[in-house]
């Protein structure tokens, strides 16, 4: 399969790995921001191809993982309401809130439906005019255009019983928060190719310059990731720090302009709380005033519905690259995919899930 098989070719992977070994002279810690990259690293055992001087750590680039408890509890509160249908992607159903998860809410009688597109939720609303249909809109910049389009489409079709519960977060402010932390130990970043496909990589340039830290845009296949690591290491060894695009088959500097236009028509930037990390300034989206009739947070009474997340869970430290999943006291004990205490154990992009699935 073109653009897949050639990036999984073992000879290509070994050739890039040998080049990495030939240029490394110092110890470097590199963070892959995206959870999809984490799963590829674990699945293909890419750390085994690297010299011991290279340490890979896992970042906060899993949208399910960083969705805060209060938003999840709000989704549960909405799903329990009479005459409400809550539509969601399947990966949110097992994410724990303060007391429960959406799968249990569904088992207790809540009308929770799995959809594959936000437009599916718009169609459900059109077919159920006597119900309030809420789409649980979670994600980074990658999914924001489609979620914004669902609002535009609902307005175009005059479907007034549709709304979205928005929990969108943005990658550059998270990188800025990590780099500005006194605990930071990251020397370079692998930026998520799918986010940059939408947004481009212009926002990363000031970060690389300010913190003198290389940022390399990469894809998700083994050769993609190793090529990104190679580019990052070359910069570090030379004492350079700039943004490099190693995912040219998908990413342009300016990104996808039409997608960004619809996204910024519906959403505006706001401060956001990240699960396990806390509030990061200007790190998320909220629905603009002009589309307030599609904003579930304004339509439902959602104040005072959340509690604290489990204190034993160290998801925040894992997503900041400060600890590995196996350093959590609950890993593989109280916390497993069947009984998750934190969202990184649930999501298909979660670091804990990757370690649980592939580490052995």
Residue 308 covered by a domain: no
**H/E element, 271:** strand 267-274
Sign of the C-alpha dihedral computed for residues 1, 142, 196 and 198 taken in this order: positive
Lowest mean pLDDT among 1-5, 52-56, 91-95, 196-200: 1-5
Name the pTM for this structure. Answer: 0.91
Per-residue pLDDT band at 94 (split at 50, 70, 90): confident
Lowest mean pLDDT among 17-21, 284-288, 318-322: 318-322
Instruction: In whole angstroms, give the CA distance from residue 133 to residue 219.
Output: 35
Both 199 and 111 in a single domain? no
Residue 77 covered by a domain: yes
What pLDDT does residue 261 have?
97
Mean pLDDT of 127-137: 97
Strand order in the sheet with 111-114: 111-114, 84-88, 132-139, 162-169, 278-287, 267-274
What pLDDT does residue 1 have?
57
Both 329 and 188 in a single domain? no
Residue 164 covered by a domain: yes
Both 161 and 263 in a single domain? yes
What pLDDT does residue 250 have?
95
Give the residue from 234, 221, 232, 321 showing the smallest Cα distance to 277: 321
Instruction: In whole angstroms, give the CA distance from residue 191 to residue 209.
Output: 15
Mean pLDDT of 274-299: 93
**Residue that terminates a domain, selected from 209, 236, 263:** 236
Please state the domain count of the chain.
3
Both 72 and 18 in a single domain? no
Domain that holds residue 278: 67-169+255-299
Both 188 and 103 in a single domain? no
- What average pLDDT is seen over the chain? 92
Residue 229 covered by a domain: yes
Instruction: In whole angstroms, give the CA distance from residue 273 to residue 305.
Output: 16
Q: What is the CATH number of the domain that holds 136?
A: 3.40.50.11740
Both 90 and 126 in a single domain? yes
Sign of the C-alpha dihedral computed for residues 85, 89, 90 and 95 taken in this order: negative
Residue 245 covered by a domain: no
Instruction: In whole angstroms, give the CA distance from residue 254 to residue 265.
Output: 17
Both 25 and 160 in a single domain? no
pLDDT single digits (tens) 240-255? 999 999 999 999 999 9
Q: What is the CATH number of the domain that holds 32?
A: 3.40.50.11750
**H/E element, 88:** strand 84-88
């Amino acid at each position: 399969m073109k653009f897949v098989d050639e990036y999984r070719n073992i000879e290509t992977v070994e050739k890039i790995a040998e080049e990495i070994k030939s240029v490394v002279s110092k110890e470097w810690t590199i963070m892959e921001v995206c959870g999809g990259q984490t799963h590829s690293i674990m699945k293909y055992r890419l750390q085994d191809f690297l010299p011991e001087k290279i340490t890979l750590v896992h970042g906060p680039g899993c949208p399910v993982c960083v969705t805060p408890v209060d938003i999840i509890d709000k989704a549960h509160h909405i799903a329990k309401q009479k005459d409400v249908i809550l539509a969601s992607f399947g990966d949110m159903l097992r994410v724990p809130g303060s007391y429960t998860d959406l799968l249990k809410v569904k088992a207790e009688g809540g009308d929770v439906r799995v959809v594959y597109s936000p437009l599916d939720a718009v169609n459900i609303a059109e077919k159920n005019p006597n119900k309030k249909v809420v789409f649980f809109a979670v994600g980074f910049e990658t999914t924001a255009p489609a979620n914004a389009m669902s609002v535009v489409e609902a307005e175009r079709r005059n479907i007034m019983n549709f709304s979205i519960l928005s929990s969108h977060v943005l990658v550059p402010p998270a990188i800025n928060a990590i780099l500005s932390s006194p605990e930071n130990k990251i020397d370079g970043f692998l930026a998520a190719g799918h986010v940059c496909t939408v947004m481009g990589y212009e926002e990363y340039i000031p970060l690389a310059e300010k913190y003198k830290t290389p940022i390399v845009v990469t894809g998700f296949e083994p050769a993609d990731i190793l090529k990104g690591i190679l580019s990052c290491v070359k910069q570090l060894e030379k004492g350079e720090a700039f943004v490099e695009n190693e995912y040219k088959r998908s990413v342009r500097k300016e990104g996808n302009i039409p997608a960004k236009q619809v996204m910024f028509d519906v959403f505006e930037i706001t401060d956001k709380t990240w699960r396990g990390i806390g509030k990061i300034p200007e790190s998320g989206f909220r629905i603009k005033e002009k589309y307030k009739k599609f904003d579930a947070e304004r339509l439902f009474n959602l104040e005072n519905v959340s509690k604290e997340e489990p204190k034993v869970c160290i998801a925040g430290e894992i997503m900041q690259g400060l600890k590995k999943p196996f350093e959590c006291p609950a890993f593989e004990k109280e916390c497993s995919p069947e009984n998750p205490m934190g969202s990184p154990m649930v999501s298909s992009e979660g670091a804990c899930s990757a370690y649980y699935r592939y580490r052995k």
